[in-house]
Amino acid sequence: MSFLNQMLILILAGLVTVVGKTDHSVKPGGQLETRRLMVQADVEAGGSGTVNLRHSRRYVSGKDTPKGLYTGPYFSPGLVSNYTASVGETIRLNCKVYQVDGQSVAWVRSHDSTILSVDEIVFVSNPRFVVNQNKQRGEWTLIVKEIRKEDDGVYECQISTVNKLSHFINLKVLEPKVMIEGGPDVFTQQGSTVTLNCNITGTNIVPAVKWEFRGEEVLPGENIDLNIYKHKDTTVSQLTLHKVNKNRIGNYSCVPESIQPASINLHVILEDPNEELLTSSGNYANLSGLLVLMAIFLQQ
């Protein structure tokens, strides 16, 4: 066997060995690490907010995705453009691309032109941002965990064609708020019925809510009713106290799960010959002075 033939056999054997190995780990000097560096270099060359990766791909993706009337990549017509989430929730922003072939798909945060990801590679160090990629289905989903108010804004799903293709998503972040009607002080007559309404806004879900009296949970029972209902964008938790007496005087807190609570002080006007009122602190005060305060509250 000639020397050239021997060299050819060795070269072919080496190629077969290389092609036959599959190593998906990202190692220094490895294929995925090399691709990540290539992608990073192309991103930096493309400029802020624009991904220039038409020559960096080394595989063909999306070959099993549906073929449409278009000759190149295109976005699914059913993509959603508006999302709403509350602070603390996790949101999934969906982007579906057909016929992506050798192009790359990136996520860009519009207000500061930050490139969040390219394909499966995330470029921000914040662990709250994750990309879930399914090449066969043509899906690139941006997941934002533990939503913050500053995440509010526009996000761009971008295909790196010669003429850039983009799908824009507007994310609205709600900030939950809790308010007890009539607070911070509520006045009532001894023996009457008082209803405390706790209004919870800025959340998509109906949270679990409990009431506390002097730091202890209030449970439904004799002369105590608890109700919760949804009214448009507001969740209302309702505490009703019947036949109020001096034992009901004090601080009441509405405590929704994972949301900052709100509190009020309940004052009871006692049917007393001395015309005195027992305040939430348990002290007696002159009724005339307190009636003046009540009038001021009612005028506000």
Q: For position 134, what pLDDT does the model report?
A: 87
Higher pLDDT, 39 or 212: 212
What is the biggest distance separating any 2 CA atoms in the chain, rounded to whole angstroms?
124
Q: What is the pTM of this model?
A: 0.58
DSSP line for 113-164: TEEEEETTEE-S--TTEEEEEETTTTEEEEEE-S--GGG-EEEEEEE-SSS-
- 277, pLDDT greater than 90: no
Q: How many CB atoms lie within 10 A of CB 36?
A: 16
Share of the chain above pLDDT 90, in %: 44
Query: Which of 23-27, 33-37, 129-133, 189-193 comes out lowest in average pLDDT?
Result: 23-27
Secondary structure (3-state) at 290: helix
Reference 157, options 133, 137, 136; nearest CA is 133
What does the pLDDT average to over 114-139? 90
Contact indicator for 91, 83 with CB cutoff of 8 Å: yes
Q: What is the mean pLDDT of residues 245-274?
A: 87
Dihedral of the CA atoms 141, 146, 152, 154 (nearest 10)? -10
Most confident of 9-18, 130-139, 145-154: 145-154
CA dist list (Å): 164 to 50, 194, 242, 260:
8, 62, 66, 44
pLDDT in tens, 204-236: 777 889 999 998 999 998 999 999 988 888 999
DSSP string, 200-221: EES-SS---EEEEETTEE---B
pLDDT for 295 beyond 70: no
pLDDT at residue 7 is higher than 70: no
User: HEC string of 3-31?
Assistant: HHHHHHHHHHHHHHHHHHCCCCCCCCCCH
- In whole angstroms, give the CA distance from residue 148 to residue 174: 9
Binning pLDDT at 50, 70 and 90, where does residue 63 land? very low
Residue 5 has pLDDT above 50, yes or no: no
Which of 66-70, 78-82, 129-133, 256-260 is least confident? Answer: 66-70
Domains of the chain: 26-174 (2.60.40.10), 177-299 (2.60.40.10)
pLDDT of residue 258: 81
Q: pLDDT value at position 10?
A: 35
What is the pLDDT of the chain when averaged over all its residues?
76
pLDDT at 136: 83
Average pLDDT rounded to a whole number, residues 62-74: 61
Mean pLDDT of 161-166: 86
What the block records as the tokens of 182 is: 């009539």
Across the range 29-45, mean pLDDT stands at 45
Q: Are 226 and 278 in contact (CB under 8 A)?
A: no
Among 97, 104, 95, 93, residue whose Cα is nearest residue 75: 97
